[in-house]
Structure 1
Amino acid sequence: MRRRLCRTILEFQERRSPSARGFEQMRLTSKSNCFLVAVCIAASILVLAARSPAMGHGSRHPIVKEEQKFIRTHTIQPNDPQTLGGPYEMADHTGRVVTDKTFRGSWVLYFFGYTSCREACPLGLEHITRALEAMGADADRIQPVFVDIGMEAPDRKGIAQFLSNFHPRLIGLAGTRAQTFEIVRLYKIRREYMATNYSKKEFGPRIDHTSYFFLADPEGNTRGYFHHALPPEQMAAFIRKHL
């Protein structure tokens, strides 16, 4: 009986119309194609994840660069210093219009962040405050500047309150979206808006961003940069080297 059943099945397979057999082949081919597409998509995702540049606060890259010299530590590496900076116009936390020419004759330290930041910004501003205090009279030649890169309308009162926790000579800059985009472009700042993490008591969107201090000379040329987590004494040594 078993042999007869098998023979019947084989005869049925042979008698099937060519169209039926073709449909079966097409169905199998379609399944194979779907499998291959799924494999390709998975491979592409893995490649993109491996190549994706780290933002803001965590990967392993150089943190200090002056001219062509690197010192290794954390986070994403900006471009060569001489390619950074340029003309901009914003307003400080008192409402006064400020341009890149406002600070001519002084060394300037630019730092980009946002006032609701709970990690890189407070740490960086605290470190630079201690570095400037350690420099004594030399710190009078330096103007520290905090640039707000948030996308909301400028909150000058909020910026002033935020900066009151740090060095008294800190100036906060904010502008329209177009003005903010321009200065971010000039300094090649990378920023990525993340969902608010209410479990960490965050208020508003979190921004992962390039967290470096950029040192500009009295002519407005960018001379170097260093990471926000650099110890204050190393920040002071880096700045003194250029004065």
Structure 2
Amino acid sequence: MRLTGLQKILWALVGVAAFVSIWLLLWSDYRSDRTRAEDEPTFFADFELTDHRGMVQTDEDFAGRWMLIFFGFTNCPDICPTTLSEVAAVMEGLGDEAAKVRPIFITIDPERDTPAALAEYVPLFDAEIIGLTGTPEQIAATSETFPIFYERIEESTAPDGYTMGHTSHLFLFDTQAGFADSWPYGTPAEDIIADLKERI
């Protein structure tokens, strides 16, 4: 049976409609997969270190709570005390919601930052901050997990003749220890509080 011109056009339109429908389904699946991938954490907090009370702590000990993590050292002249002061302001600004967040300070200078040194340092900012240290090998392994950068810099005028260069971001991890966000040095506490209140 020969098709008329009109029938050929109709069949062509049916073919185009079928193609468009299949394309839309595939695009929808692609977008869904992409959105799901973007929502997944790019990395997870993973550590086993000693806190400022001498107790071994791992990321699993903070399961169910959001973690605010900052890497620094107690002899830091400016960035670390400024950031920890901001963290203290964040915890105060969260009010009752602060119970859902655990602020953590991880040293990148384990040679000097013993548990005893951290015990004198972190409470100066906020009683809720946990200070963590470990062996140089443990700190190096932790830095690769997050990941962060740090290095020893010889400086004759600094305590013990050296200081530390390091990543100055404040990291946020969700209740399953998945990376959620980070803020660069100098981000106002008000901005961090606003971001946190939308999440927790």
In the superposition, the TM-score normalised over structure 2's length comes to 0.76
Alignment of 1:235 with 2:189, yes or no, is no
Q: 1:135 is paired with a residue of what secondary structure?
A: helix
8 Å Cα contact 2:45/2:179 also seen in 1: no
Amino acid at match of 1:172: G
- Partner residue in 2 for 1:163: 122
Superposed CA offset, 1:65-88 (max 9, x none): xx97xxxxxxxxxxxx93333432
| Unaligned residue ranges in structure 1 (runs of 5+) | 1-66, 69-80
Which residue, out of 175, 179, 184, partners 1:222?
179
Aligned mates of 1:194, 1:166 — CA distance in 2:
26
8 Å Cα contact 1:127/1:228 also seen in 2: no
| Unaligned residue ranges in structure 2 (runs of 5+) | 1-36
Amino acid at match of 1:92: D
- Partner residue in 2 for 1:174: 133
Q: 1:118 is paired with a residue of what secondary structure?
A: coil
- Partner residue in 2 for 1:63: none
Q: Residues 86 and 136 of structure 1: is their aligned pair in 2 closer, same or farther, counting only changes over 3 Å?
A: closer
Q: Residues 222 and 141 of structure 1: is their aligned pair in 2 closer, same or farther, counting only changes over 3 Å?
A: same
Q: 1:82 is paired with a residue of what secondary structure?
A: coil
Q: Whose radius of gyration is greater, 1 or 2?
A: 1
CA RMSD of aligned residues (A): 2.0
Alignment of 1:187-226 (within 5 A): 187-198=146-157, 202-204=158-160, 205-226=162-183
Aligned length: 163
Aligned mates of 2:196, 2:62 — CA distance in 1:
17
Which residue, out of 65, 75, 86, partners 1:116?
75
Amino acid at match of 2:137: A
Q: Sequence identity of aligned pairs in percent?
A: 28
Alignment of 1:83 with 2:32, yes or no, is no
- Partner residue in 2 for 1:135: 94
* Shift in Å, 1:237: 1.0
Q: 2:159 is paired with a residue of what secondary structure?
A: coil
8 Å Cα contact 1:153/1:176 also seen in 2: no
- Partner residue in 2 for 1:95: 54
Structure 1: 4+ residue segments shifted above 6 A: none
Aligned mates of 2:156, 2:191 — CA distance in 1:
33
8 Å Cα contact 1:146/1:171 also seen in 2: yes
